[in-house]
Amino acid sequence: MENVKIIEIKKSVFEDNDRAADALRGELKKKGVFLLNLMSSPGSGKTTTLIQTINRLKDKLRIAVMEADIDSDVDAIKIKEATGVESIQLHTGGMCHLDAEMTEQGLTAVIGGQPSEVSSQPSAFDLVILENVGNLVCPAEFDTGAVKNAMILSVPEGHDKPLKYPLMFSICDVVVINKIDVLPYFDFDMEKCKEYIHMRNPKATVIPICAKTGEGVEAFANWLLKEVARWKE
Amino acid sequence: MHELGIVFYIIRDVKQAAQENGVEHVSTVVMNIGEVSTIIPEYLTDCWRWAADKEDLLRGCELKIEPIPAVTHCDGCGKDYPTVAHGKICPHCGSEKTWLLRGNEVEIKELRVEN
């Protein structure tokens, strides 16, 4: 009979990434940079929400944006044209999410220089926003090293999304409910939605907005302003 | 393509372990996959076949999945119950104060190497 040797591993597949993410957060704390990881389904209005939010904050904070997509650079160009802030495009090479390593590479490109060089200097940015790949499954599992996680749920997607994608809602610090201008045309129950979100995550802040008209965006901008200030203390 | 991303992570860890143990070919990788880990076992093994056969270390290597049933604990009555059948609400007392005891694992259990 053949001899089989068994090598015991007993290791979570996410362990290395979790460690890299913690290390990245440590670096960001030292440099005083607040990294926000923004997630959502495709088409929920991430880019429009970002443009509205950045235009309200760009006089108060130095902001940069990293757009992550499988392909194209339409979002990075759109952000730069509409807000004037630094914006770069990351390609995930077919992958459905960004991990901590890819995020760090992106940050190095935004801030400039080698990672070791960068860490010894104060950053030129207060707030870096990572627009993750539009997807509610994988980005929830891979910690990017962000300080806070935010997600956008749009009204047409339905109020039962928190029940279908529990992990995403359980890791988000803030849930922005977008496209509230179309509430009269959909069977979207705002109170039920808040209840479902809090079932998954009692601490989540819920902010209803309309990125198109700007309604409610101030509240999200203020939430960010407060979180950035707290991180820099 | 969620499972493919996971496969790349598995391959990275297996390569590292093989190097540390001076192994040139792995015949089986055994995974512990929790019932509510969001991994679909058939997709994972399909992606594995495609990616593993590109590596000398893993050509023909089987990915064996040992499922871990999901169990939720209820703080309301102190009992455990199967997660998939009952979800977030405790079937014993109706409480919502429940949390996942196990079942979201994505873990490499062991490598098998033929001498």
Whole-angstrom distance, CA of residue A228 vs CA of residue A87? 19
pLDDT of residue A122: 62
* pLDDT at residue A10 greater than cutoff 90: yes
* Boundaries of every domain in chain A: 16-232
Residue A3: beta bridge partners? Answer: none
How big is the A-B interface in CB pairs under 8 Å? 75
CB A131 within 8 A of CB A36: no
Are B1 and A13 within 8 A, CB to CB? no
Chain A nearest CA to B7, separation (Å) = 9
A88 exposed, middle or buried (CB, 10 Å; 0-12, 13-18, 19+)? middle
Residues B63/B71, Cβ–Cβ less than 8 Å: no
Question: Looking at residues B29-43, what average pLDDT do you find?
Answer: 93
Which top CATH class is A16-232? alpha beta
pLDDT band of residue A120 (cuts 50, 70, 90) is low
pLDDT at A134 > cutoff 90: no
**Sign (positive/negative) of CA torsion A132, A166, A21, A99?**
negative
pLDDT classification of A94: cutoffs 50, 70, 90 = confident
**pLDDT value for B1:** 56
Q: Residue A98: closest CA among chain B residues belongs to which residue?
A: B5
Q: How far apart are the first and last CA of chain B?
A: 35
Query: CA angle, corner A209, sides to A206 and A214, nearest 5?
Result: 145
Of A4, A10, A16, the CB nearest to B107: A10
Nearest residue in chain B measured CA to CA from A17: B9
Phi-psi region of B47 (alpha: psi -120 to 50; beta: other; left: phi over 0): alpha
Q: What is the mean pLDDT of residues B54-59?
A: 96
pLDDT-derived band at B82 (thresholds 50, 70, 90) equals very high
Smallest Cα distance from B106 to chain A, Å: 6
Q: What percent of chain A has pLDDT over 70?
A: 94
Q: Domains, chain B, ranges and CATH?
A: 2-112 (3.30.2320.80)
> Are the beta carbons of A13 and B110 separated by less than 8 Å?
no
pLDDT mean over A61-88: 90
Q: Is the pLDDT of residue A223 over 60?
A: yes
Rounded mean pLDDT of A77-93? 89
**Predicted pLDDT of residue A109:** 85
When the pLDDT of each residue in chain A is averaged and rounded to a whole number, the result is 90
Name chain B contacts of A6, Cβ cutoff 8 Å.
Answer: 110-113
> Which among A7, A13, A97 has CB closest to B21?
A7
CB–CB of B113/A2 below 8 Å?
A: no
CB contact at 8 A, A209 and A217: yes
